[in-house]
Amino acid sequence: MSTHSHPDSYKAYAFLEKGGPLVPITFEWKDPQPGEIVVKVLACGHQTVPAVRYPIVPGHEIVGDVAAVPATETKWTVGQRVGSGWHGGHCHSCASCVRGDYIVCEKEDINGILRHGGYAEYVTLRTEAVAAVPDGMDPAEAAPLFCAGVTTFNSLRNMSCKPPAYVAIQGIGGLGHLGIQFSKAMGFRTVALSTSAAKEELARSLGADIYLDGSKVNHTEALRQLGGASVVMCTAPNTQIIREMIHALAPRGELLVLALTDNANVDLGEMIIKGLSVRGWPSGSATDSGDCLEFAKANNVRVMVERFPLDKANEAFDHRGSARFRAVLIP
């Protein structure tokens, strides 16, 4: 066992029941078991998906310093700056894991959903779900890259289009403001789609080549005049707009749906005639997160965050949808 000095107990905020508030609780210190490390949390981003068991400490955008490792640990050492996201671990043995596709593991562990997350002073993480944080990155800005960041980065790099194709980003919020930056940094001609003129200056500062204001132009028609988008990344949960975006795609284009929303019917005839695809993307593994952080640092991709102290956990959770653009706890 290797460890820094640590307290006998530490504070966390947990949901004790479905629909209830976050409640302060105290955990007794437990040394990590083989395959685990304990991390002193420096920042933790929000989460929108409800837990499936209670009590649960939420939070799956975690950055901190390694505080303790078991004697069996060979990769992580005490004092390293690390992080973990949605993906909290995998079984290593299902068909997906055998192929190395850990993010769709049949028995995937999920931080803040199936195991305690980062709304705490310390968190125990599975080693295969941990990635190193590059030197010099602000923990509060790095934390959202472990979910919002890797979701937009990893999905876009796995689409079939190549620069300088048009990529349109629908919605300029927590995911969208990162999608614009990643798209531009990857070399795509980047189009920002919004419902008013309010975010044009922001979108262009993030790298958008074109800004389409839905109060003035029809997004679908405007994109068709460009020849269609090779990818429309849907980050805002508006089923009507998402459904219409199928018509804005270029031949062989892909509708990339990242927003959690209700079911949306799409024009199957249009899909057949133009050879279109509708894709979803489930975040990323620890390796993907590591790639995302390295790419973000190299290309100056910045996360816009609002910071809250740990004792304001309820306020941070309540502002997860209205923060500009990611609510991050700073214990």
In a domain, residue 152? The reply is no
Residue 320: its pLDDT value, please?
Answer: 66
**90 and 218 together in one domain:** no
**143 and 171 together in one domain:** no
In a domain, residue 52? The reply is yes
Question: Is pLDDT at 53 greater than 90 in this prediction?
Answer: no
**274 and 291 together in one domain:** no
CATH of the domain at 83: 3.90.180.10
Distance in angstroms (rounded) separating the CA atoms of residues 122 and 331: 9
**139 and 34 together in one domain:** yes
Cis peptide before 55 (omega within 30 of 0): yes
Instruction: Print the domain residue range for 62.
Output: 2-147+284-330
Helix ranges, the chain (H): 95-98, 139-142, 148-157, 176-185, 200-206, 219-225, 239-244, 268-274, 286-298, 313-318
In a domain, residue 153? The reply is no
**13 and 118 together in one domain:** yes
In a domain, residue 104? The reply is yes
Residue 106: its pLDDT value, please?
Answer: 95
Supply the pTM of this predicted model: 0.94
In a domain, residue 185? The reply is yes
**250 and 312 together in one domain:** no
In a domain, residue 154? The reply is no
Task: Tell me the per-residue pLDDT of 178-205, one tens digit each, with 9 for 90 and over.
Answer: 999 999 999 999 999 999 999 999 999 9
**207 and 232 together in one domain:** yes
Q: Is the sign of the CA dihedral 149, 56, 308, 41 positive or negative?
A: negative
**Among 87, 45, 76, CA closest to 63:** 45
Question: Is pLDDT at 226 greater than 80 in this prediction?
Answer: yes
Task: Tell me the per-residue pLDDT of 110-155, one tens digit each, with 9 for 90 and over.
Answer: 999 999 999 999 999 999 999 999 999 999 999 999 999 999 999 9
**314 and 234 together in one domain:** no
Distance in angstroms (rounded) separating the CA atoms of residues 307 and 329: 6
Say if residues 183 and 206 touch (Cβ distance below 8 Å). Answer: no
- For residue 79, the one-letter residue type is G
Distance in angstroms (rounded) separating the CA atoms of residues 131 and 140: 16
- For residue 124, the one-letter residue type is T
**11 and 49 together in one domain:** yes
CATH of the domain at 250: 3.40.50.720
Task: Indicate the residue among 244, 263, 280 that finishes a domain.
Answer: 280
Name the percent of the chain lying above pLDDT 90.
86
Say if residues 1 and 68 touch (Cβ distance below 8 Å). Answer: yes
**79 and 200 together in one domain:** no
Task: Indicate the residue among 255, 280, 305 that finishes a domain.
Answer: 280
**119 and 190 together in one domain:** no
Task: Indicate the residue among 260, 280, 300 that finishes a domain.
Answer: 280
In a domain, residue 35? The reply is yes
In a domain, residue 276? The reply is yes
**273 and 289 together in one domain:** no
Residue 50: its pLDDT value, please?
Answer: 73
Total count of domains within the chain: 2
